[in-house]
Structure 1
Amino acid sequence: MYTVIGYPRTRAMRVIWMLEELGEPYELIPAMPQSNEVRALNPSGKVPVLKDGAFAITDSVAICQYLADKHGKLTFPAGTPQRARQDGITQFVVDEIEGALWTAAKNTFIHPEEMRVPEIKRVCRMEFDKAMQLLKEKLGGNSYVMGENLTVPDILIGHAVGWARVAKFDVPDTGPLAAYFERLLSRPAFLRAMARGEEAVA
């Protein structure tokens, strides 16, 4: 059994969702970032951490891809052109979509107040809007970003969309992207992950 360490309302949700999609059992420990429990496994104090036996893995993207590779699901095989394209989309999500959200968050409540640059949030919103246009092009007429089957970057995108809505970014609410987001966030595995996370922090 896997152990997921991290508060569910963080990037830990990506890992919980991934495990639900895979149908793998896991224990969830809702530890907060920078807690002693987390820092004992990840000196940066960031969540999530996944324990696979005695092996601890950090960074939600690395964890999700590790799980996909290990179980041979939700990914294309390493060394194939499809995997190269999949990894490119994953990097796009981290750089262009999450990058805008994370920079805005750091300058809203994460950095010490005297270090925040509130004006940069206008730039973040512009970058996010541009990323949504690029995502629309990458999606094309497909159900998911790599075609008709869910893969790792879809999970990252679904999580980022929820984050963006909470942060009051302009998430498309009509058209193909809105339909894609609804497809992601109505998946049974996502709904189970949300319920598991809420139960853990109740």
Structure 2
Amino acid sequence: MIKDKNIVWQNSLVLPRIRSNILRQEPVTIWLTGLSGSGKSTIAFALEKALLNINKLAFVLDGDNLRHGLCKDLGFSEEDRSENIRRVAEVSNLMNNAGLITISAFISPLAKDRLLAREIIGKSRFYEVYVNTSLDTCEKRDCKGLYKKARMGLIKDFTGIGSPYEPPIEPDLLLNTEILTIDQCVNLLIEHINLISKDFWPAHL
């Protein structure tokens, strides 16, 4: 809720379709969710590069990166995590309004927070991608050493160990990085984006 009733929304003189026509792309948010170590960030940045290589303007919003700036005042309580996702969703929405393809890579463990993100961004341009990698595999990878710290009790409320992860029931796309390579994941994502924004994509994709 807006706290000050004197704040009034100002409408742009530029319609969203004009930006889409200039950039020749449909602005969408690809929301990657999954456990730490599932491969979300790796896939996100590989997808960003692949899209730019075919002249599609995309930008990654990464969980760790945003906690260095926009969300550096937030911790990892349920309330702070929800606020983290709300802020990211608002930024994703703004970037979509500017015509960009946004790739958001966040654990986003709670279904209610992902639902809020979908509502903020808009159902027609929010695509939930579940990076479905088992806890066992993520813990074996432990690329940041976080699972080890969580098992030692050094990190409280770590998702999958001390805090729950609620898998999407009907994601728009499911990627299992135990089976698929990063390139295969990227190709599947591009095929998916191609279907949802076919008016602006090269015929050979």
Q: TM-score, normalised by structure 2?
A: 0.32
More helix by share: 1
Q: Which has the larger radius of gyration?
A: 2
Report the TM-score when normalising by structure 1: 0.32
Q: Which has the higher contact order (CA 8 A, sep 6+)?
A: 2
